[in-house]
Structure 1
Amino acid sequence: MNFCKNLFLAAFLLILGACSTSKEITYFQDLRPGESELTLTTPVEIKIQPKDKLSILVNSQDPRLTNLFNLPILSQQIGIDNSYAMSRGVSGYTVDLQGNIDFPVLGKVHVADMTREEVAVLIKSELQSRDLIKDPVVTVEYMNLSISVMGEVNRPGRYNIDKDHLTILDALSQAGDLTIFGKREKVLVLRNEDGKQRVYGINLCSAEHLYTSPVYYLQQNDVVYVEPNDTKARQSTVNGNNVRSTSFWISLASLLTSIAVLIAK
């Protein structure tokens, strides 16, 4: 009889272990509505780096004059449902390894470690100081800046940076949020700093830890990685014998049948 009890206990523990999930799934657990006040980390501007690509448009009251400072519009044929259409886009400036762009008439312009606003001010100032355009309006946009989101998210992939202050919450939202198997308390951000790869950890369960993190604001080429939790690890066994697999339930049914036969005897 003790043998039967032990078998029942083993079966119970098997089911319990297979069905257990992490309790660390709620974000911002230290926040209390109407009570919590947090000081956010200072927003970090995205600085232009070598190999970044920029769109720079110059406008003024004289379109013929500004055409001298704008790159040509590119047309590209693209296929859509067995037919073809023309796509038009603005050419861009690629920052070289020395941090320069080659701007029409002005020549080499150093833009590395500047924000896009600072680049716009610099080019506007150069155009005015050289008496090339009296009233220029300069618009600078990013063209190839992106971050990568990997691991336990619903839509892993590479996402474009479309604003100056992109937070890790923005990135995770674009990736469809974490799956139920993602570790909320250990999200990693990999960043290249001064030629070295640095790894930062973020705890999404703690708002204080999140909002004061040096990587709350992401930079171009950052990699966000969400680790799988213990439940996902248990479900990823070599032979696939887990709670979601057919083999698991066949094995469990076989065990319970053996126990019933022993009891009947």
Structure 2
Amino acid sequence: MKIRKVFCMLMLSTLLVSGCTSYQKSLYLQNEQVLNESLQGQLYDFRIMPKDELTILVSTTDPEASAPFYRKIGQNKESSSNSNVGMDGAKLLVYLVDNQGYIDFPVLGNLKVMGLTNRECEALIREKLQPYLKEVPNVTVRTSNYKFSVLGEVGKPGTYTTDAEKVTIFEALAQAGDMTLFSVRDDVQLLREDSTGIRRVYHLDLTQANVAQSPYFYLQQNDVVYVKPTKAKVNSNTFSGNASMWLTLLSVVTSITTFVLALTK
């Protein structure tokens, strides 16, 4: 009797400990005091990469003076210097950053923009335009194809596009419907391709608050976030997939046992 009580106590203790462990692993941003103790802040700046698509608008007080420096869809380079008659509602043409980091800009030719922030790119174009204009132009640069993908154990896996210049790992997960209760939060994988085409996988522990200080906290163009399922989820899916087989096997075993018992009577 005493042995049975001890066994029950051990089983209950094991369940309680495992329950606490699972609960702790399901929480985000634990030990947030590390952020309060940190004296080093960091402001993220989006950097232009190859294959980015940029929307660039140049404007001055005289529309005809700035017209040669931007094109719209359906308008070729030769006609860009003419007035935009009949094209007021047309969409601005995007500039694709090539593998070497250049864009082909009207009149100015090839400009290297890789590694620049949007503000730095604006300053570069503004400087290059100065000899062609009587006034300092207003230049606006925006990235039009900033996208990322979220896969795995989340509510809505898929590829998402945003107009924001910076997206955190948590914002990306929020757009994907957040992680499910069967996700591994302390080892989220981030697949990233750098400007040279090299791909690497980085591991993020979202249960710890210091993830906010990680250089991979902010996503970059074409990042892929993968959330792994827990072993319990994999095992449950495996069992569910083989449920009919197990039921058939159990039925056969029951029939054989019943038959054997009937013979021994």
1:138-217 equivalences in 2 (<5 Å): 138-193=139-194, 194-208=196-210, 210-217=211-218
The equivalent residue for 1:83 is none
Partner amino acid, structure 2, of 1:37: N
CA deviations over 1:91-141 (Å, ceiling 9, x no partner): 10011222111111111111111111111111111111x132513110101
Structure 1 letter corresponding to 2:110: K
Shift of 1:45: 2.1
Q: Taking structure 1 as reference, are residues 230 and 41 closer, same or farther at Cα in structure 2, changes over 3 Å only?
A: farther
Q: Give the TM-score normalised by structure 2.
A: 0.72
Q: Which has the bigger relative contact order, CA under 8 A and spacing at least 6?
A: 1
Larger mean CA deviation between 42-51 and 94-103 belongs to: 42-51
Please tell me the residue identity of whatever aligns with 1:66.
S
- Report the Cα offset of residue 160 of structure 1: 1.9
Q: CA deviation at 1:170?
A: 1.2
Q: Quick one: which amino acid aligns to residue 203 of structure 1? A: D
SS in 1 for 2:173: helix
1:254 deviation in Å? 11
Higher helix share: 2
Quick one: percent identity of the two aligned structures? 41
Residue 31 of structure 1 and its aligned partner are, at CA, apart by 3.4
Aligned 8 A contact 2:35 2:209 in 1? no
Task: Flag as ranges the 4+ runs of structure 1 deviating above 6 A.
Answer: 245-255
1:64 aligns with 2:64: yes
Aligned: 1:46 with 2:24? no
What are the superposed Cα offsets for residues 19-42 of structure 1, whole Å, 9 maximum, x if unpaired? x8943211123237xx97154762
Distance in 1 between residues matched to 2:62 and 2:119, nearest whole Å: 23
In structure 2, what residue type is equivalent to 1:199?
Answer: V
- Partners of 2:209 and 2:94 lie apart in 1 by 39
Comparing 133-142 and 65-74, the one that deviates more = 65-74
TM-aligned CA distance change 1:139 to 1:233, over 3 Å: same
SS at match of 1:228: coil
Structure 2 SS opposite 1:182:
coil
* Contact kept in structure 1, 2:149 and 2:224, CA below 8 Å: yes
Equivalent position of 2:27 in the other structure: 26
Q: Distance in 2 between matches of 1:36 and 1:211?
A: 8
Contact residue 181 and residue 229 of structure 1 kept, 8 A: yes
Q: Which runs of 5+ in 2 are unaligned?
A: 1-7, 9-14, 76-88
CA gap of 1:195–1:36, structure 2 versus 1, over 3 A, is closer
Query: 5 Å matches for 1:247-258?
Result: none
TM-score (norm 1): 0.72
The CA distance in 2 between the partners of 1:22 and 1:249, in whole Å, is 30
Root-mean-square deviation (CA, aligned residues, Å) is: 3.5
In the alignment of these two chains, the number of paired residues is 224
Deviation of 1:89 after TM superposition, in Å, equals: 2.8
Alpha-carbon distance change, 133 to 123 in structure 1, aligned in 2, over 3 angstroms:
farther
Larger Rg: 2
Note the C-alpha offset of 1:72.
1.3
Q: Name the CA distance, whole Å, in 2 between partners of 1:119 and 1:67.
A: 19
Post-superposition Cα deviations, 1:32-87, rounded to whole Å, max 9, x if no partner, equal 7xx97154762332221222110000111111222211211569xxxxxxxxxxx9
Tell me whether 1:219 sits opposite 2:255 in the alignment.
no
Question: Is there any run of 5+ residues in structure 1 with no aligned partner, and where?
Answer: 1-8, 10-15, 76-86
Q: What amino acid is aligned across from residue 107 of structure 1 in structure 2? A: G
1:88 positional shift: 5.2
> Take 2:55 and 2:28, find their aligned partners in 1: how far apart are those partners?
37
2:106 aligned partner, one-letter code: P
Distance 2:118 2:127 in 1: 14
Match of 1:92 in 2: 94
